[in-house]
Every structure is written in structure tokens, then in C-alpha cells.
Amino acid sequence: MYKKLEQNFINPNFTDWASLKSDINTATFLGKDKKSALEYFMPSDADKLLKIYTRRFCKIPPTVTLYSTITGSGSIGPHIDHGPLAGLNFYVSAGVDETVFYKKKNKDAAGLQYPGREQSNIFSPDDIDEVDKFVANSNEAYLLDVSKIHSVRKLTNEPRIFIAHLWYEHSYEEVLENLI
Ligand SMILES: [Fe+2]
């Protein structure tokens, strides 16, 4: 479901993370009661983005790399991602938030559907059981199987900031096998 990576592919001397955020918001998901928001932004500058790495970290390049934030005090409820199958997050600022994975109590439990989306991908807490969780620290990287039900439990108001590398056509297992 997830794997903490031996993170030695991000340049430890890079500090100007805010400069990587552009104004182009590619997606926003609101948490329960709209108390929190998960937002993805295009990187401001492709050349600058390349400067954050010390080396290649996967033989399969991610489909997209996005500057990502979760702001507010609420949680991002249990869901399956829209499109991406695997995500490698480098946490710039992670705080004490928990990333939680679940399984369906009953294999037929159907998720709710976002308007306009084909996939049923939001799940009621009544239909799922927590199976695992992690708390990432800042400057750590985790590979996540975002095709499995997961949530982010935000425990403070500190913004969560991460660089999300997303694969749309390769599974978590494939990406994991191809990490360098
Ligand atoms: Fe997600």
C-alpha cells in the first residue's frame, strides 16, 4: 500500500520550494465540511523543477509532477485517486498528519460518485476498515498505491506541502520495481 523510500534523490541544498508553485491549479478537492482543501499546481518552471533532484529515481518517468498542498484543519476523506495509480510524494512540510489506508468491509461496498466522474471513489467510514497508516516527516519520500482507499488525517492547521509524482499508466507494483 505504501513504502517509505531511502530518499537520496532530492537535492538537500534546495530550499526555495515556494518558487516551484505556479498559479495553474490543476485540481482541487475539498475535505469534509470544506474545512480543508487538497490542491495541485503545475510547477512554475520545468528547468527549476529539475534542479531539485540529484539523480533519476525511477526508470519509468512519472506522468506528471505537481506542487501540492493541503490547507485547513480538516481531513481529506477516504478515497481512491482520480486517474493516478501510483504516487511518489516528497514531503516538503509534513507536520504530524496521518496518511491512512483502508480496505472495504464488504467487497461489494460501492464508493460514492463525484458529480461528473465515472469512478465511484469516495467511501463512507461505515463501509471500510483501517488497515495501515504512516506519519511522514518533512524531507521524506513515500511511494503510495493511490488506487487503494486512503485518506489524510490532518491534525494541525499547518499546511502540508509535497511534490507529487503521479503515474497514470503504471501500477504501484510496477513503479516500485522500477525505482532506482
Ligand atoms: Fe489521494
Q: What is the pLDDT of residues 5-30, one digit of tens each?
A: 998 999 999 999 999 999 999 988 88
* For residues 87-112, average pLDDT: 90
Tell me, in angstroms, the distance from the centre of ligand 1 to residue 86's CA: 10
**Whether residue 156 has pLDDT greater than 80:** yes
pLDDT at 178: 98
> How far is Cα of residue 31 from the mean position of the Cα atoms in its chain?
14
Tell me, in angstroms, the distance from the centre of ligand 1 to residue 136's CA: 15
Q: How far apart are CA 87 and CA 82, in angstroms?
A: 12
Which one-letter DSSP state was computed for residue 111? P
**Average pLDDT for the chain:** 91
**Whether residue 77 has pLDDT greater than 70:** yes
Residue that the C-alpha cell 508553485 belongs to: 21
109-127: pLDDT as tens digits: 777 766 655 556 888 888 9
Tell me, in angstroms, the distance from the centre of ligand 1 to residue 144's CA: 9
Tell me, in angstroms, the distance from the centre of ligand 1 to residue 15's CA: 25
Q: How far apart are CA 97 and CA 134, in angstroms?
A: 9
Tell me, in angstroms, the distance from the centre of ligand 1 to residue 47's CA: 27
Question: Looking at beta carbons, which pairs linking 45-52 to residues 24 or more positions away fall under 8 Å?
Answer: 45/19, 45/20, 48/19, 48/20, 49/20, 51/11, 51/14, 52/10, 52/11, 52/14, 52/20, 52/163
In terms of phi and psi (left: phi > 0; alpha: psi -120 to 50; beta: otherwise), the region of 95 is left
pLDDT at 116: 56
Percent of the chain with pLDDT over 90: 69
Tell me, in angstroms, the distance from the centre of ligand 1 to residue 18's CA: 22
Percent of the chain with pLDDT over 70: 95
Tell me the backbone φ, ψ of residue 30, rounded to 5 degrees: -90, 140
Tell me, in angstroms, the distance from the centre of ligand 1 to residue 152's CA: 8
* For residues 63-92, average pLDDT: 93
Sorted by where each starts, the structural domains of the chain and their CATH numbers stand as 2-9+21-177 (2.60.120.10)
Q: How far apart are CA 143 and CA 1, in angstroms?
A: 8
